[in-house]
Chain A
Amino acid sequence: MVRVEFLGPIQKEPLELDITNLSQLAVILQKDSELAQWLQNSAVAVNDTLVASLNHVLKNGDKVSLLPPVCGG
């Protein structure tokens, strides 16, 4: 299973999903209308490293994080 966490202002509980790449995650999350805005503007990290491709392979125990727009300071 892959754990999916929603950080900062995305008010959503973590998910546990049986998926093997980020493309599958995109298909699942795009069905959730509440997430539509966040999918367009959030970065994605796998095991706390930012990734730039949907082809990224996921394995059992991986953690995927969604990071919406930031503003520190």
Chain B
Amino acid sequence: MLYLYEGALNVPAILKDWYEQESGSNYGAYIPFVGTVRSEDGIDGLSFDIYEPILKSWFRAWQERAKEKGAIIKMAHSRGDVMLHESSYIAAVFSPKRGVALELIDLFVEDFKASAPIWKYDLKEGKRVYALERSTAIQGSGILGVQK
């Protein structure tokens, strides 16, 4: 359950939809994480590119991992521009008991930051500037730069 949207996320509607989707599924815990664009370094907002084929396979692998623990993961992310105080990312875990959901949401969001093929740009003074210094090289990067 991976949902991609153009622009900012409608957080109340998404959280409500997800709650209603699983209200009869006998999960005891619903732990959402909502990422909101903060004002810092004079930015007007953020912008995102997404490479969908690898994002989908990465997400499928996580869904399998959650399934082994009786849990499910839902994730929503924005494409394009998201302005200050709007939200670009929601992840949530549903599980029978809270312990699994609390553990999984942490592991999932950490790996999302390190591995999901999404690129972030600062929107500043009318420009879209790649946020290299806040980005993480995917594990195994750099093989094409090795000199023979």
Contact = CB atoms under 8 A, between A and B. Distances in A.
Kindly name the residue among B35, B77, B109, B136 whose own CB sees the greatest number of chain A CB atoms within 10 A.
Answer: B136
A53 B140 CA distance: 9
A70 B138 contact: yes
A52 B113 CA distance: 20
A26 B140 contact: no
Contact of B145 (A9, A36, A45): A36
Contacts of A40: 141-142, 145
Contact of A73 (B54, B88, B130, B146): B88
A26 B144 contact: yes
Contact of B136 (A65, A66, A71): A71
Dominant secondary structure at the B interface: mixed
Interface residues of A, number: 34
Interface residues of B, number: 40
Interface in B3-44: 35
A61 interface: no
A71 B119 contact: yes
A42 B138 CA distance: 7
Contacts of B50: 72
Interface string B72-104: 000001000000000011000000000000000
Interface of B: 35, 48-51, 53-54, 57, 77, 88-89, 109, 112-121, 130-132, 134-148
Interface of A: 7-9, 22-23, 25-27, 29-30, 36, 39-45, 48-54, 65-73
